[in-house]
Structure 1
Amino acid sequence: MDLRNVDLNLLLAFDMLMTERSVTKAAQRLSIGQSAMSSTLARLRKLFNDPILVREGRTLVATPLAESLAQPVHDLMTGVESVLTRRDQFDPATAERTFTLIANDYLTMTFLQPLIARLSTEAPGVRLRIFPTGDDAPARLRKHEVDLLLMPREAIEERIDFPYQHLYRDRYVVAVDRDHPEVGETITIEQFSTLPYVAAASGHQRSLQEMQLDFLGVPRNIEITVGFGMAPFLLRGTRLITLVHETLAKRFEDAAGIRLLDPPIPRLQPITEIMGWTRRTDTDAGNRWLRRAIVNLAADFGSEATG
């Protein structure tokens, strides 16, 4: 095949079609119309003399040839992007750029807030779009829908196949009302299991701490289930207790009117927050700058997180 007669933009379209397995979504990702994407698919079929994608019911399924080409073409596009961005320069003081991140409310309120505060003076043209975490968070990163993923390593069940870095560890503490009538300087496992309890949820799922307590067989007298960022603020003037990340609890200890205690559960494990990105953006100057800023933030944050 003479490459001079091949439009290499077709390979970019092929990579996007194999990633999305949808003409409509691939068109949206490439910012072109669906009809234009359909025409591109027709050109790909002619180029490879293969249907590439065939319809089975309501879904599109890749042919064996397309499947065999998917990874080599993806690696090729990643390499091309790496070459084009290698010499890229990024000056945060003058750059105009929006970065997209996935991070939960807890991370945004406690960890990212200082970075957000600094951007207005150190990088006034830099904007952050922060999306909440979900089951599809790693998949969205792999599809290049976001620039960075920040979430607990323990929440990613599958094998991690993208570059990532540990940021810090955060332990759990028990939070109670500052004037709780039954809990003193310590709390027993019997009190933890019988006092009315605020369970933490992450979206529509149980949080990591609740799953860990279930795994350890620790009973709770659950009266309320809320997002974990809200749990500390429900304790004032009640007998309620909850288990919460230490950094979140310390940040709002005075405002929420709570006291923090060591949990009476010896095998309770902390969480490990990580930052993930893609190989395609590994050498991008802007992405590297943001990663360095977050790593530096984690270095300052780590001593607080580990108590």
Structure 2
Amino acid sequence: MSAIQTAYGDAVTADRLLVNLDLNLLVTLDALLRERNVTRAAEQVGTSQPAVSAALARLRRYFGDELLHRIGNRYELTPLAIQLAARTPPALASVRRVFDVSTDFDPATVERELTIVTSDYAATVLGPIVAGLLSRQGPGVRLRLVQTTPEAVDHAADTLRSVDGILLPHGFLTDTPHTDLYEDRWVCLVAPENDLVGDELTLAHLGELPWVVLFHRPTAFAPAAQQLRMLGVEPRIDVVVDGFLQMPFLVAGSQRVALLQEHLARRIAPAAGVRVLPCPFDAVPVAEAFWWHPMYRADPFHTWVRDLLVEAGRQVAMP
């Protein structure tokens, strides 16, 4: 039998399994794996406890696994259930998106969740504008902003299958559909009492002062920091953080320096009590974009979301 025939046979078998499988079980499975309790799962899906117990019995037969096993007065997930707990939410989200598609799309009447993976920078600068536009144009759309991680970016192809998109500057992803939103400049932060720095920073300062940096991993870096290394300046790293919002407060009262996006720096520098100074080199600007999976290219809801984000980016860029 050829590889093509084998693949076709596997696909037919999978289709037959889906025909005989009640997709409502996916909703119940998701609730059971999250709640680890039949009564609470029943409340989550809006059905009776006996109905959920019956669904659990069917799921156990289907997977040939207990899924939930009792330890004392509580339930724990089996190893297989732990694997399913990671796969079920994305699968459920994909099923919902299939049935959300409509040729007569009206954002004023849609009821769904918009999930975007983002840094705390974009969530702070762009998030309030997006939330305001949604409340006016799509009041039934709930916005969920999920904090990004290096793993989410490193495995963006997988990440984008379970969310609506990622807010991320250019320089990290390739061969992925995106919508450009706005540009931002890099600035430097120093404490007012840092007597090593006068009215301006120099490249010599950046090589001598201790730094606060984000993540500090090969695939997780600010492009401007990488550019600095290309100029022969290797930052002396003192503190590593996983969010931009922490940086000004770790610069305050110290001799540390940090690179931060200007739109964010102008918002939070006063609260942290730090100075905002121009970069002493021609730092490549932040080109913020919305990255999304190709399956959403013609999706009416997603097309509307991309237009809304472009409008939000325009408002960010306004002087």
Fold in common (TM above 0.5):
yes
Residue in structure 1 matched with residue 168 of structure 2 by the alignment? 151
Q: Which runs of 5+ in 2 are unaligned?
A: 1-10, 19-25, 34-54, 65-97
Residue in structure 2 matched with residue 280 of structure 1 by the alignment? 295
Residue in structure 2 matched with residue 71 of structure 1 by the alignment? none
Q: Within 2, Cα distance between the matches of 1:8 and 1:248?
A: 53
Residue in structure 2 matched with residue 257 of structure 1 by the alignment? 273
Q: Which runs of 5+ in 1 are unaligned?
A: 1-5, 14-23, 39-80
Q: 1:191 to 1:203 in 2, by over 3 A?
A: closer
Identity %: 28
Q: Within 2, Cα distance between the matches of 1:10 and 1:146?
A: 25
Residue in structure 2 matched with residue 52 of structure 1 by the alignment? none
Q: Within 2, Cα distance between the matches of 1:8 and 1:91?
A: 38
Contact 1:200 1:210 survives alignment (8 Å): no
| Aligned with residue 203 of structure 2, among 176, 182, 189 | 189
Structure 2 matches for 1:1-307, cutoff 5 A?
Answer: 10=15, 33=59, 85=101, 87-92=103-108, 94-120=109-135, 122-133=137-148, 134-137=150-153, 138-142=156-160, 144-156=161-173, 159-160=174-175, 162-201=176-215, 206-208=220-222, 209-227=224-242, 228-266=244-282, 268-303=283-318
Q: Within 2, Cα distance between the matches of 1:212 and 1:106?
A: 20
Q: 1:287 to 1:9 in 2, by over 3 A?
A: farther
User: Paired residues, what number?
Assistant: 240
Structure 1 SS opposite 2:207: helix
Q: Within 2, Cα distance between the matches of 1:127 and 1:231?
A: 29
Structure 2 SS opposite 1:174: strand
**What's the offset of the Cα at 1:170?**
2.0
Backbone CA RMSD of aligned residues: 3.7
Structure 2 SS opposite 1:154: coil
Q: Within 1, Cα distance between the matches of 2:210 and 2:263?
A: 23
**What's the offset of the Cα at 1:249?**
0.7
Relative to the length of structure 2, the TM-score reads 0.63
Relative to the length of structure 1, the TM-score reads 0.65
Provide, for residues 173-203 of structure 1, a one-character-per-residue CA deviation record: whole Å limited to 9, x for no partner: 1111234323222111112211232222278
Which deviates more, 220-229 or 251-260? 220-229
**What's the offset of the Cα at 1:248?**
1.4
Structure 2 SS opposite 1:229: helix
